[in-house]
Amino acid sequence: MTIHKEGRGLILATTTIVVILNVIIASVPSFFSPTVYSILSTSMLVVSIVVLVLVLQFFRLPSIEVIKNEKQVLAPADGKVVVIEETEEPEHLKSRRKQISIFMSPINVHVNRMPVTGTISYAKYHPGKYLVAWHPKSSTENERTTIAVKMKNGTEVLFRQIAGAVARRIKWYVKEGQPLEQGDEFGFIKFGSRVDIFLPLDARVTVKIGDVTKGGKTVIAEF
C-alpha cells in the first residue's frame, strides 16, 4: 500500500506542524511542574500520532487486482450503497436510467475508479454548494463533476463525483476522447463524499441498499 499523490503535500505539512509543536513542548519543561509537564507532553504525543494516522489513512492507496469484464459494472468507489432507483439523468444522457449511489465516509479509500472500459464522451466540472452528501439535492446543487464513458458497444455509462459538507476537494484526471480501462483511476475526493452512477434500464443491479463496496472490485451491475 502506498500514499496517494493528493495527500503528499498535506501529510508533509501535518508532519512538520506536529514535529514543531512537540519540539516546543519538549523545550519548555521549566514552565510547568513535573506532573503537568508529563501529562502535557504525553497528551501532545498521543494527539500527534492520532492525527498523523488519520491523515495517512485518508490518503492510503492500496494495490488491487482488477478483474475486467465487459458485461459487468464495477463500483467506482469504496463505500456504502445508499441509493438504488430509476431516475432521469438530465445533464448529458437526458433519459431514464438506473441510479446507484455510493456514500464514501472519511475512513474509506477515496480513489475513484472506472466502472467500465471505454472512451470518455463527456466531462464537466460544476462549482456548487456543500450540502451533506445524503441530501436529496446534493447531486444537482453541490460541487461535482459529471463524467460519461462510451463502451465499445455504444452504451454510455455516466458517473458523478459529488462533494459534501466535509469533502470540498474533488479531483478528476480525465478528458473527453480519452480511452480508459475498467478499474483505472479517474479521480479522487478528499475526505470522502458520494459517487452516483447512471446505468441503462436493462442493467441488472447486483447490490442492495446498505451493501459495502470496494472500488474496482465489487460488481454492482451486469449487462
Please answer whether residues 170 and 189 qualify as being in contact, where contact means their C-beta atoms are separated by less than 8 angstroms.
Answer: yes
Distances (CA, A) of 32 to 19, 24, 25, 36, 47: 20, 13, 10, 6, 19
Q: How many residues are present in the chain?
A: 223
- The residues that are catalytic are 193
- Using pLDDT thresholds of 50, 70 and 90, give the confidence band for residue 1: low
Radius of gyration of the chain (CA): 21
- Using pLDDT thresholds of 50, 70 and 90, give the confidence band for residue 107: confident
pLDDT in tens, 81-98: 999 999 999 999 999 999
pLDDT in tens, 176-189: 999 999 999 999 88
pLDDT in tens, 129-148: 656 555 555 566 678 899 99
Distances (CA, A) of 53 to 14, 39, 47, 190, 191: 11, 21, 10, 16, 14
| Cα 30 from chain centroid (whole Å) | 46
Q: What is the pTM of this model?
A: 0.79
Q: Where are the domains of the chain?
A: 2-61, 72-222
pLDDT in tens, 195-216: 999 999 999 999 999 999 999 9
In percent, the amount of the chain with pLDDT more than 70 equals 88
User: HEC profile for the chain?
Assistant: CEECHHHHHHHHHHHHHHHHHHHHHHHCHHHCCHHHHHHHHHHHHHHHHHHHHHHHHHCEECCCCCCCCCCEEECCCCEEEEEEEEEEECCCCCEEEEEEEEECCCCCCCEEECCCCEEEEEEEEECCECCCCCCCCHHHHECEEEEEEECCCCCEEEEEEECCCCCCCEEECCCCCCEECCCCEEEEECCCCEEEEEECCCCEECCCCCCEECCCCCEEEEC
In CATH, what is the architecture of 72-222?
Distorted Sandwich (2.70)
State how far the Cα of 57 lies from the Cα of 51, in Å rounded to an integer.
10
State how far the Cα of 12 lies from the Cα of 35, in Å rounded to an integer.
32
